[in-house]
Structure 1
């Protein structure tokens, strides 16, 4: 049976992608698990593996094609002696970015039924599994997938028994709700173009990453009730302790940064103030057990927030090595979705760029984000009441008031400061 290979959803938030490169050609025999293509999402370039076995009968989407929607047919897989024309024809695909890419011929026929959703989450299934399920009247939300990443494959649905279809029919009969109107995001494009019609400028189209950043941060500022807590921390003890540790680690090629200590301090503070280790989940909060800390990394055209999981349990040298690896792969867009999604708390450090203080925007569904400024020599009042000079760093905690109240946020920031001012406690 000829089946369509569909544009996969390689992350929970992916809606479209760019088919960067085909690693197979028409006529090639592919096996389950074989890498067929490289696909660019809004954040990374990822490999796409075949779920079913067969022969590549036809490639429908050319290399370099951008804006390919999830579940759009990109190729046809056939069996020995079978023609690619036996498969249902795809819907019209998006135009390629490269002008030299060949256009895709459209054939009129209905596409395979889309996978249903359970509680708002997409059900991942192979095209053949969806078709069999549709023919047998199966509810794919009740089927457990045995394929890669829990994907439902042919074997999962062939032996499954259909369930009552009444609820589905009732849902289909229900009147569709009108989609909410898009919230205003500023002047219309035409208005801005007219405003600068007599000025020279270069128009910069938005790529997938920039669009995602714009959408998510607009949503964050419009829907999250931010409030801000500010503290200063004296770094002299930390700087001296860091210098001492780096001397001991020099033979291992390890050099700890101030940021490594900040990550560790935040991770341990989330354990000390567990009620602040939480995220907003629409109609509830999720209070997390591990300290999974995200750290903002600037890349060309945007930023990533790779997540250091179980950061409270890792040594400073382990955190340093992991952070360097994640940052390097973020800059080359080689992070997998699970490496930059999740966490309950984030850190954005602009101190190394000379910024003294700033307010960071919360990255949903996180409960808070810590904005870290530069450490500067400042006059301070010492413990004995005399004036002195200390290295002082400004920090601002942006907090989601739905998740963390003022007193709880203040307690979390207080513990972070205590760890940074008494760094030996982080080794306990």
Structure 2
């Protein structure tokens, strides 16, 4: 029997995607391992390959179609001896799932509508109809269950639908109460309500892409479901800046230039080892206490952000962290990261200091238990240990903490460890 090829899950959290581009067409012969299409997720555009060999008998979802649910049939593969007439019997054979392969640069695709899903009768019996017949029936409002097919094995074809008439729609009783409008979502007014507010103003509608939808959903859920609390510390950077300058002169011949953010990543990774009870994530009915320090770092890209993860960051040198971070950030901006490179970690860093932001509160990215928001370093008057007033370079930090995982005192110990590491940078090389 023909094999249904299903929309693949290209990451553990993927629920739907866009079929960006078909690399095969109906009638093409494919072998196991051949690349068949490009699938766009909320993070990247990735290729998927054929698992079996055969002939592409039917493409069910046109390229450019978005919102395709995982495990939805997207094509039908014919095996030896099969023809297009056998496609109506695919439900009797288990579908094969394609495997995801490495990403390719994002490519555009024209929008196109897919054929309606295969219909069935009220008793569950499947109705065999060609994709064109299904589309015509949907456009004309015709119930295929009322038709008798003239095609092979009783299949409903174009001619059967074109000669049929749509059943009259039942009229609404005169005394039926008017339908109530759907209440506005808890997250805010509906699209129509917002349009109404601004109907006398000029505006341009910007549809949300997959990444923006995912960011909106995840951060709304995080802010509503994660009990955040916030801890703040000012950190003096003068010793770190002087140490960084010395190291950069020594590393210049190797083409390595350390940033302040490299030191922050290292300081956080070491702090998770110094305060191991804080190196944990929320897992629904329990917490998972991690041994390695896997630190995620927010990277802004066009239309959203990635949080690539630096694994075992406590074990790596500053120069290794710097090189790895530059590579991850560059590939994040090109949307070329593999899922395992931006998933995981127990802790995150979000640095807006380079944008001149003094301080801010970051939203935790579940299942992480904490995220450090980093502001700009600025010259400020401070009182020294001897009571004398002096000028120092001060950086404001805010630690957002999930209270289900980390209590106040434990969070304070973690932030204090980060502060101590940054104010005594030579100790991070020990």
Task: Give the TM-score, by structure 2 length.
Answer: 0.78
Contact 2:377 2:394 in 1 (8 A): yes
Alignment of 1:163-312 (within 5 A): 184-312=186-314
Q: Aligned residue for 1:122?
A: none
Q: Aligned residue for 1:345?
A: 347
Post-superposition Cα deviations, 1:266-307, rounded to whole Å, max 9, x if no partner, equal 011101111000011111101111111100011111111111
- What root-mean-square deviation, in Å, do the aligned CA atoms of Structure 1 and Structure 2 show? 2.1
Cα distance change, pair 182–219 in 1 and its aligned pair in 2 (3 A): farther
Contact 2:293 2:345 in 1 (8 A): yes
Q: Aligned residue for 2:10?
A: 10
Secondary structure of 2:392's aligned partner: strand
Task: Give the TM-score, by structure 1 length.
Answer: 0.79
Post-superposition Cα deviations, 1:332-373, rounded to whole Å, max 9, x if no partner, equal 111111111111000000000000000000001100000000
Q: Aligned residue for 2:397?
A: 395
Post-superposition Cα deviations, 1:138-189, rounded to whole Å, max 9, x if no partner, equal xxxxxxxxxxxxxxxxxxxxxxxxxxxxxxxxxxxxxxxxxxx996111222
CA drift at 1:387: 1.4
Q: Aligned residue for 1:108?
A: 119
Contact 1:89 1:109 in 2 (8 A): no
Contact 2:19 2:68 in 1 (8 A): yes
CA drift at 1:316: 0.8
Cα distance change, pair 98–264 in 1 and its aligned pair in 2 (3 A): closer
Which whole-Å CA distance do the structure 2 matches of 1:38 and 1:364 have between them?
28
Contact 1:90 1:106 in 2 (8 A): no
CA drift at 1:46: 1.1
Secondary structure of 2:349's aligned partner: strand
Query: Which one of the candidate residues 408, 413, 421 is aligned to 2:410?
Result: 408
Secondary structure of 1:325's aligned partner: helix
Which 5+ residue runs of structure 1 have no aligned equivalent? 92-96, 111-180
Secondary structure of 2:354's aligned partner: helix
Which whole-Å CA distance do the structure 2 matches of 1:357 and 1:109 have between them?
58
Query: Which one of the candidate residues 417, 420, 426 is aligned to 2:419?
Result: 417
CA drift at 1:19: 1.1
CA drift at 1:38: 1.2
CA drift at 1:224: 0.6
Contact 2:3 2:90 in 1 (8 A): no
CA drift at 1:50: 1.9
**Number of aligned positions between the proteins:** 353
Q: Aligned residue for 2:56?
A: 56
Structure number with larger C-alpha Rg: 2
Which whole-Å CA distance do the structure 2 matches of 1:424 and 1:271 have between them?
17
Cα distance change, pair 424–182 in 1 and its aligned pair in 2 (3 A): farther
Which whole-Å CA distance do the structure 2 matches of 1:204 and 1:344 have between them?
34
Does residue 33 of structure 2 align to residue 22 of structure 1?
Answer: no
CA drift at 1:80: 2.5
CA drift at 1:102: 6.2
Q: Aligned residue for 1:67?
A: 67
Structure 1 residue ranges, 4+ long, deviating more than 6 angstroms after superposition: 97-100
Cα distance change, pair 274–85 in 1 and its aligned pair in 2 (3 A): farther
